[in-house]
Amino acid sequence: MPKHLTLQKRLTLAAALIALPFFGFAGDFVEGKHYIQISDQAPSKTPKVTEFFSFFCHNCFNMEVQYLPAIKAGLKSDISFDTKHVDFMNSDIGTEVMRALAVIHASERQTEMARAMFNAIQGADGAQGHHDHSAEGHSAKSHEPQIQSRDDIKAVFAGFGIDGAQYDKLADSKEADAKLALWRQQQQEFAVQSVPSFVVNDKYMVNLQEIRTLEELSGLMNYLATEKDKVEEKGGSLGWAALGLLALAAMGRRRLA
C-alpha cells in the first residue's frame, strides 16, 4: 500500500477519534426534548443533581421509595445529590414541613427521616398514590395526615433522638432560614411547576416525560452534570484540532515528496 494512503487513513482515523467525545453524548440527548436550559448563568462550580419535591406529593413518595436509590447509584462518584422542598402550598404548615427538611439535612439519617415524614403525611401506602379504603381495619381517620403542626413534626423526629428543644433550634436557625429562602428563590428562578423535578448544575431541567429507563435518566444526569458544558467549551477547539491535522498532513506530504 502506498505510504501516502496509509498516512491519509491515519489522519482520517485521528479526526474521527477526536470527534467521538463531542458527538457521542450529544447525539443521545437532545436539548428541548430530554432537557431544557433554565438559566443563563454559569453552571454550579461542582457537578450536582437537585431534586425539587414535596412531602405532600404522591409521585415524590413513589420516586423516593422506588427509584431514587437506583438513580443515585447510577450517578458518577463526583456528582452530589441534593433535595429542596417546593413551596406550592404557601401556608404555615407548608413552611413548617419545609423547615423539617432543613432539619433532616443536618442529620446523618436523612433517608430514614425523609421517609418517616412521607409516611406521617401520606400514610404508608402513599407511595402508590392511593389508599385502599376496602382494606381490613381501614377507617377514614387512619389515613388522616399526622402532620398538622410543628408539634406533630417534633413527634416524628423524637423517634430519631431529636427532642423538642433541639428540633426548634435547628428549625429556627439562620441556616434553615437561608435554605428556605434559596429554595423559594430557585423555585421561581427555575420555573419549577411540578414535582418531582430534577435540576442539574443549577442550569438544566430534566424532562421526565421523555425518559424511558432509569439507566437513561442517570446517563442524562451524568452528561448534563459533567459533560454538557465541557463539550460546548471545547466545541470551538475542534477548529484548531482540524488545523493541526491539516498541518500534520502537509508535513507528511513534504516528507513523501
Helices (H), the chain: 3-28, 58-62, 68-73, 92-105, 110-122, 150-158, 164-171, 174-189, 214-226, 228-235, 237-256
Does the reported pTM lie above 0.85?
Answer: no
CA distance 153 to 96: 8
Cell triple for 218: 442517570
pLDDT in tens, the chain (257 residues): 544 444 444 434 433 333 333 334 445 899 999 999 999 999 999 999 999 999 999 999 999 999 999 999 999 999 999 999 999 999 999 999 999 999 999 999 999 999 999 999 999 777 776 444 343 444 444 456 689 999 999 999 999 999 999 999 999 999 999 999 999 999 999 999 999 999 999 999 999 999 999 999 999 999 999 999 886 665 544 444 444 444 445 445 544 44
206: helix, strand or coil? strand
